[in-house]
Copies of this chain bind each other. A is one copy, B any other.
């Protein structure tokens, strides 16, 4: 990369879908990319080395969690988040807005920012657009996100508009306080709930400000896959095509495939990690629930074709036993497998785009009507 900001080189395309390479201060990220979620400076149940072995180029860190514990200034004194969590590759941090809404107590939103009580110790914390950028700089995030108000679902159009406009004013303040540096970038976040006109206005406002990448926010809040796809259909075409497009907090494999078809380049979701800790495994033939007694004497691996350590060494019967017995190794192995599955999916999407056969690839991932996208992150 040269000059300030991150690099983004577009490669093959197939319809709206794209391959690309993002270049940051800590290395490159091949897109379409799935970022495992490393909430509290750890991708739960995984060593950093094992995360790298899944093929992940970039992980996501949560500003909300890290600013509360161990604290952004502490992480900065310890050399930044990469050194702290032993992840020398690219890191994207969210801005904390989503978790303030979902986890904190007694939050109060004003024009200036949001004041809330920590869910850990009850301390009162203020998060402004300027502080969100400062925290992410202290963490040394390669890609920072603007602070936004994550609009709940469902919400009326007037409330969605007011919320989106507040987020756009905050986005401008984030841009102003973000110090340009080579290899470091700032992404804006399109809001506007399910209302196309609001999404257009939000995208236009962000383009006017100018960002290194553009995220679609406010999805994966329980609105369903069809609604998410409708938002993407209305939004992605409005985003600069020479910048990365990031769908936050999504999702199931079918959600990701559908979003890549619609021009999204980046994803994060807790689904593969959280599901692993609750006994669920993603496979080519669907989701397995390892608690199911039907697996108790099944000597087959989770997925015959998967090269991950969990599939190479351990049977479904053993994983069933570990899950029933509440053994940590169950969550460890299932998380490992699920992250391998997600990275394998992303690699498959990339190869399909290169080969111009994404439509055929995607045909295997259709979801039943009305399936919910995952609401947790």
User: Which A residues have a C-beta under 8 Å from some C-beta of B?
Assistant: 40-42, 44-49, 69-70, 74, 77-79, 84-86, 296-297, 299, 309, 313-315, 317-318, 320-322, 324-325, 327-329, 331-333
Contact = CB atoms under 8 A, between A and B. Distances in A.
A74 to B, nearest CB: 6
A244 B134 CA distance: 63
Given A299-B78, A299-B79, A84 B327 contact: no
B327 A40 contact: yes
Contacts of A309: 47, 49
Contact of A41 (B84, B321, B331): B321
Contacts of A318: 41, 78, 84-86
Given A70-B321, A77-B297, A296-B74, A328 B327 contact: no
B84 A329 contact: no
A94 to B, nearest CB: 18
B84 A42 contact: no
Nearest to A50: B47
Please give me the 8 A-B residue pairs with the lowest Cβ-Cβ distance, nearest first: A86-B313, A42-B329, A45-B328, A70-B321, A40-B325, A42-B327, A78-B317, A86-B314
A352 to B, nearest CB: 32
B47 A315 contact: no
A278 B252 CA distance: 34
B47 A329 contact: yes
A329 B44 contact: yes
Given A77-B297, A296-B70, A327 B44 contact: yes
Contacts of A332: 45, 47, 328, 332
Contacts of A40: 321-322, 325, 327
Given A40-B325, A41-B318, A86-B314, 9 more contacts: A40-B327, A41-B321, A44-B327, A69-B324, A69-B325, A74-B296, A86-B313, A328-B331, A328-B332
A160 to B, nearest CB: 35
Contacts of A317: 70, 74, 78, 84
Nearest to A317: B78
12 contacts: A41-B318, A42-B327, A42-B328, A46-B329, A47-B309, A49-B313, A70-B321, A74-B297, A78-B317, A79-B299, A84-B315, A328-B332
A355 B121 CA distance: 55
A308 to B, nearest CB: 12
Contacts of A70: 296, 317, 320-321, 324
A279 to B, nearest CB: 15
Nearest to A312: B86
A314 B85 CA distance: 7
A48 B296 contact: no
Contacts of A329: 42, 44-47
Which of A69, A296, A297, A321 has the most C-beta atoms of chain B within 10 angstroms of its own C-beta?
A: A321
A77 B297 CA distance: 8
A371 B314 CA distance: 41
A44 B48 CA distance: 19
